[in-house]
Amino acid sequence: MSVVDAKSFGKVAVLMGGKSAEREVSLMSGAGVLKALQSRGVDAHAFDPAERDLSDLKKKGFKRCFIALHGRFGEDGTVQGALELLGIPYTGSGVMASSIAIDKVMTKRVWLAEGIPTPRYKLLQRGLYQRGQVVQVPDELGLPVIVKPAREGSSIGVSKVAGYSDMQAAVDAAAALDTDVLCEQFVSGDEVTCPVLGTGEQARALPVIRIVAPEGNYDYQNKYFTDDTKYLVPCGLPAGEEEAIQALVLKAYRVLGCRGWGRVDVMIDAATRKPSLLEINTSPGMTGHSLVPMSARAAGISYEELCVQLLASAALDQEGAAGP
């Protein structure tokens, strides 16, 4: 993209930071995006909604927003709704898709209704669950069991529980972060992720990445702050599996009404080789360790070009894609 085209985007805000538990990661993502856009001649500026009122976007003449916020108050439809009211096109999914996708339980309900496989689960709600109910969860889902807040990302508050005696502490830890606690069947096997770019029938799946974390523990630390996790792209899956996962991920993305971009996390059962979808991220990470840029690079798209492509796809729910 030429400098002239980049200038035609107008004044661009890269929304980063915010108030969620993922603020630190968002600041890293936003810094990368800001540098990339500026390197391509875009008039891009950092904008932290935790420090400035969103109404400043209109007052200061911003014409579109690149959302590099993660988690609540950024990826959950709230900022998207505010930008709809301000009439400023933004990257990523709209209000409804964002608000459903941030909620892992609501996402599962939609996917299950559409015949998309996802691990079995049990929902516990803060203040309503009894100790007896907590201890019964492994009877229903088996051990180990995954316990996580329903609306956090970056593996924050996630526990892998190996025994009954550890269930209560795991549920309490998740409940400290969210009113809804998702207890999920553990799927043993390959962990993969698949990004998607585009909207509707034009959406396409990028190469699948296989994640090999130390002792299978792909937690917050191993996601962002160590180099011990291996990311394999090409993924090296058996013939036909990558294409099948890409097709399934595209369906999962479309049924939620996602647009712009996203990334779906998948477990492949070691015994049956059947995939189960865990969750979808509608504002994925763009840090040095992040997976969408890695997959895009394997498809011949540089980090800088990816950022410009995403900015060009900025839209409003009611108007379709905005022109540059």
Task: Kindly state whether residues 299 and 201 are assigned to the same domain.
Answer: yes
Catalytic residue, from 180, 265, 304, 317: name it.
265
Query: What's 166's domain CATH number?
Result: 3.30.1490.20
Catalytic residue, from 279, 283, 290, 295: name it.
279
**Active-site residue flag, 222:** no
User: Would you say residue 225 has pLDDT above 70?
Assistant: no
pLDDT tens profile 101-136: 999 999 999 999 999 999 999 999 999 999 999 999
pLDDT tens profile 166-216: 999 999 999 999 999 999 999 999 999 999 999 999 999 999 999 998 776
Task: Kindly state whether residues 131 and 169 are assigned to the same domain.
Answer: yes
Task: Kindly state whether residues 217 and 270 are assigned to the same domain.
Answer: yes
Structural domain total, the chain: 3
**Active-site residue flag, 24:** no
**Active-site residue flag, 154:** yes
**Active-site residue flag, 22:** yes
Contacts of 84 (CB under 8 A, 6+ apart): 94, 95, 316, 317, 318
DSSP one-letter string for 174-186? HHTT-SEEEEEE-
Q: Which domain holds residue 255?
A: 100-117+187-306
**Strands across the sheet with 64-67, in order?**
44-47, 12-15, 64-67
DSSP 8-class letter at 219: -
Task: Kindly state whether residues 106 and 198 are assigned to the same domain.
Answer: yes
Q: Is the previous residue joined to 234 through a cis bond, with omega within 30 degrees of 0?
A: yes
Catalytic residue, from 20, 29, 281, 290: name it.
281
**Active-site residue flag, 231:** no
**Active-site residue flag, 120:** no
**Active-site residue flag, 265:** yes
Predicted confidence band at 320 (pLDDT cuts at 50, 70, 90)? low
User: Would you say residue 229 has pLDDT above 60?
Assistant: yes
Catalytic residue, from 98, 154, 295, 313: name it.
154
Model-wide pTM > 0.85: yes
**Active-site residue flag, 64:** no
Catalytic residue, from 17, 22, 29, 313: name it.
22
What is the mean pLDDT of the segment spanning 223-239?
A: 84
For residue 101, what are the β-bridge partners?
A: none
